Amino acid sequence: MHGRRFILAGSTALLMVAASGSLQAADGAKLYEAHCVACHQPDGNGAEGLAPPLAGVLTKRAQSTSGREYLAQVLVSGMIGTITSRGVKYNGNMPAATLSDEELVAVMGHVLATFNGVSQPLPVELFIAARGKALAPSAVRQLRERVLAEVGE
């Protein structure tokens, strides 16, 4: 009895992992094309005077707890105010993404895997928690400062 229940729960979990994996692969790149590419560019290198790079600069943040929270919050809340990335100043306005939590998992998973070599997507719980906090875009910029001071770029 116990054994069978365990096997059933296990295969359900596997199916869920498989489903979320294919969603990320199928939709992440498309979502990036539709919602991010105009500013962050096809290669994720951004453009001076427009938007900072996403390529090669997010690895450390993707691998720390506070960094992951920050990345989820940027997408949910947007960000405003001057930032420095790879020594270049940007003073733009990152709009809050108008995507579902699942789409945010997929698009950020694409950004991390394709541009930063991080295969682990941010879990959906982080986006739900970020919506709960609902930080103002200017507060997200301050969060970025704190996180970078802690984990580095």
Amino acid (1-letter code) at residue 127: F
Is 68 one of the binding residues for ligand HEC (CB under 6 A)? no
Count of residues in contact with ligand HEC, rule CB under 6 A: 29
> Which of 23, 47, 55, 83 lies at the binding interface for ligand HEC (CB under 6 A)?
83
Is 111 one of the binding residues for ligand HEC (CB under 6 A)? yes
Beta-carbon contacts of residue 1 (< 8 Å; ≥ 6 apart)? none
Is 74 one of the binding residues for ligand HEC (CB under 6 A)? yes
- Spatial distance between the Cα atoms of 62 and 115, rounded to a whole number of angstroms: 12
- Spatial distance between the Cα atoms of 56 and 118, rounded to a whole number of angstroms: 10
- Spatial distance between the Cα atoms of 113 and 95, rounded to a whole number of angstroms: 22
Binding residues for ligand HEC restricted to 10-39, rule: CB under 6 A: 35-36, 38-39
Beta-carbon contacts of residue 49 (< 8 Å; ≥ 6 apart)? 90
Is 97 one of the binding residues for ligand HEC (CB under 6 A)? yes
Which residues of this chain interact with ligand HEC, rule CB under 6 A? 35-36, 38-40, 51-52, 54, 57, 71, 74-75, 79-81, 83, 85, 90-95, 97, 107-108, 111, 141, 144
